[in-house]
């Protein structure tokens, strides 16, 4: 609620300036459209588009931007490399982003705590309050192996729908604790029956908004 009011005050401050400087009657409809973009959830990628592409895919949204579809480029040592049309590169492990290249401020690598459920590939509802220390490396500016302590908590089970498919998932929240740059964040993971993250809201650098993503077509490793 505090974030909502902060955004609202910011835009209510901007809009009167626009109104004073512009006598065009269309400014009101423009203002309404801008508010819709700020506070509404962007549309999901259509099932038709996802199904038309014969590769594993993921729907991704950075901050309040529109959703975009990115395609699996390769798999190596259980790390999946996804590529967008504008050459953003995202690397995931068990559905968790460990590297993101192509932005001004980049995530070079997250080295997860060896006992982290994502590292182990096993999430348990009784993990409430367990803490882990992972190491984050950033580029532009460079910050090498920042230790970040987090607390992982089980929230609930629920059913979610992705492209007309229903999944029963466990929902976990990961909250940052003390770290050298006082970086505060909360990640949310939706974990399927195979202990894979199929949907998430993840913070990956202090200088970028969080990234929201959903696996729209899962990768099947050749046997």
pLDDT at 178: 85
Whether 201 and 208 have beta carbons less than 8 Å apart is answered as no
pLDDT in the model for residue 38? 47
> In which residue ranges of the chain is pLDDT below 70?
1-41, 127-128
* Residue in 213, 215, 220, 190 with CA at minimum distance from that of residue 75: 220
Count Cβ atoms below 10 Å from residue 123 Cβ, excluding itself. 20
Specify the pLDDT at position 33: 53
Residues 6+ apart with CB under 8 A from 200: 95, 96, 97, 187, 188, 189, 190, 212, 213
27-35, Cβ contacts within 8 angstroms, sequence gap of 24 or more:
35/11
Q: What is the pLDDT of residues 4-24, one digit of tens each?
A: 445 434 433 333 333 344 444
* 134, 111 Cβ separation under 8 angstroms: yes
- Reported pTM: 0.81
- Residue 213's alpha-carbon distances to 3, 17, 132, in angstroms, are 21, 35, 23
pLDDT of residue 4: 43
Q: Give residue-wise pLDDT tens across range 27-60.
A: 555 545 554 454 456 788 899 999 999 999 999 9
């Amino acid at each position: 609620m505090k974030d909502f009011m902060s955004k609202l005050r910011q835009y209510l401050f901007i809009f009167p300036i626009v109104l004073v400087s512009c006598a065009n009657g269309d400014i009101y409809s423009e203002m309404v459209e801008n508010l819709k973009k700020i506070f509404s959830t962007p549309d999901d990628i259509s099932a038709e588009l996802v199904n038309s592409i014969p590769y594993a895919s993921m729907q991704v949204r950075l901050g309040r931007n529109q959703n975009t579809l990115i395609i699996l480029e390769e798999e190596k040592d259980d790390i999946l490399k996804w590529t967008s049309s504008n050459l953003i590169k995202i690397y995931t492990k068990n559905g968790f982003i460990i590297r993101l290249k192509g932005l001004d401020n980049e995530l070079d690598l997250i080295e997860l705590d060896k006992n982290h459920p994502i590292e182990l590939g096993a999430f348990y509802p009784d993990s409430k309050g367990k803490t882990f220390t992972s190491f984050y490396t950033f580029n532009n500016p460079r910050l090498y192996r920042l230790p970040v302590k987090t607390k992982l908590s089980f929230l609930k089970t629920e059913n979610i729908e992705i492209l007309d498919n229903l999944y029963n998932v466990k929902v976990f929240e990961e909250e940052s604790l003390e770290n050298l740059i006082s970086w505060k964040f909360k990640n949310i993971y939706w974990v399927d029956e195979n202990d894979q993250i199929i949907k998430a809201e993840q913070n990956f650098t202090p200088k970028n908004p969080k990234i929201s993503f959903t696996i729209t077509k899962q990768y099947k490793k050749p046997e």
